[in-house]
Amino acid sequence: MSTVSVSTPAPARKKVTTLAFRQKKERGEPITMLTAYDYPTALSMDVAGVDSILVGDSLGMVVLGYANTIPVTMDEMIHHCRAVSRGAKYALLIGDMPFMSYQADVNDAVRNAGRFLQQGGMDAVKLEGGRERVDAVRAIVGAGIPVMGHLGLTPQSVNLLGGFRPQGKTASAAKRLLEDALLLEEAGCFSLVLESVPARLAEHVSKKLSIPTIGIGAGVGCDGQVLVTHDLLGLFDRFTPKFVKKYADFHGEMKRAFAEYLADVQARQFPAAEHSVEMTDEEWESFLKVA
């Protein structure tokens, strides 16, 4: 009699929800999040098993070449969200509300947040700011849309902050950040990004909140981590913040591949026979007869 080994099938992966975020915090399991702006990147990080994908307005800098995130529009965000939502089946998808899509008017904020779900295929939205955004957060959550907050270095306020610099370093700034975090939780945020704040402060805030914090340049004491994928892949040549760990050098690899292609074309080594379509001798002869 032959022995057949039956292995237990891997449990089917489930779509990540905002509830799953909360449960991960309760179990002490780190939440993984990355940014994506297109279909193939979203597909490969979804297959890798990332918990959440943020279509960040950082796309203005790393994809569209703007100097900062201020010029990014709703239409640009929706265009990229649609591509990401076609690539990712399981990750919780979060669309980043761009500058002036939620600051001026709470009704606009709700309508624009709605576009991320209806037109962009997102599951939730993210917006920047603390106490001054509480009304917008309440109204968006009231419309049934999950909201992620964002405190610390908030790039849409770069002109107010005087540059891309760490936040919450003085006692009063740290106190204000903690108060803002508690207000956002109370207003209904399901999670909070903490960007470029001292690690000790981020850990303290994370312990005070029951919603999960996602850190970027905020140390290991947050409930999860996010990085801008173009930084992680070494794809953005302009600058790399100190808090980034580069896992690849895609910019260098692209330069190498392009230089090799140019050299091949110039030397007539590309396309080779295997890259070309050919006619049979018979087909060629019959063409010559009619030509």
Is the N-terminal amide bond of 271 cis, ω within 30° of 0?
A: yes
149: Cβ–Cβ under 8 A, 6 or more apart, which residues?
126, 127, 128, 129, 130, 133, 137, 181, 184, 189, 191, 192, 193
Nearest approach, Cβ of 152 to ligand KIV (angstroms)?
10
Quick check: 193 and 214 in contact, CB under 8 A? yes
What is the contact mask toward ligand KIV in residues 248 to 287, using x (rule: CB under 6 A)?
----------------------------------------
Q: Which is nearer to ligand KIV, 58 or 85 (CB)?
A: 58
Quick check: 77 and 121 in contact, CB under 8 A? no
Nearest approach, Cβ of 72 to ligand KIV (angstroms)?
9
Stretch near ligand KIV under the rule CB under 6 A, chosen from 50-58, 100-108, 198-206, 271-279 = 50-58
Q: Which is nearer to ligand KIV, 96 or 185 (CB)?
A: 96
Stretch near ligand KIV under the rule CB under 6 A, chosen from 11-19, 54-62, 136-144, 264-272 = 54-62
Q: Does 193 bind ligand KIV (CB under 6 A)?
A: yes
Stretch near ligand KIV under the rule CB under 6 A, chosen from 51-59, 181-189, 233-241, 251-259 = 51-59
Nearest approach, Cβ of 220 to ligand KIV (angstroms)?
17
Residues in 219-238 that interact with ligand KIV by CB under 6 A: 226, 228
Q: Which of 16, 25, 36, 57 binds ligand KIV (CB under 6 A)?
A: 57
Nearest to 190 by CA among 216, 167, 213: 213
Nearest approach, Cβ of 262 to ligand KIV (angstroms)?
33
Q: Which of 32, 35, 41, 103 binds ligand KIV (CB under 6 A)?
A: 35
What is the contact mask toward ligand KIV in residues 78 to 117, using x (rule: CB under 6 A)?
------------------x---------------------
Nearest approach, Cβ of 249 to ligand KIV (angstroms)?
21
Q: Which is nearer to ligand KIV, 129 or 278 (CB)?
A: 129
Nearest approach, Cβ of 193 to ligand KIV (angstroms)?
5
Q: Which residues bind ligand KIV (CB under 6 A)?
A: 35, 54, 56-58, 96, 150, 193, 195, 216, 226, 228
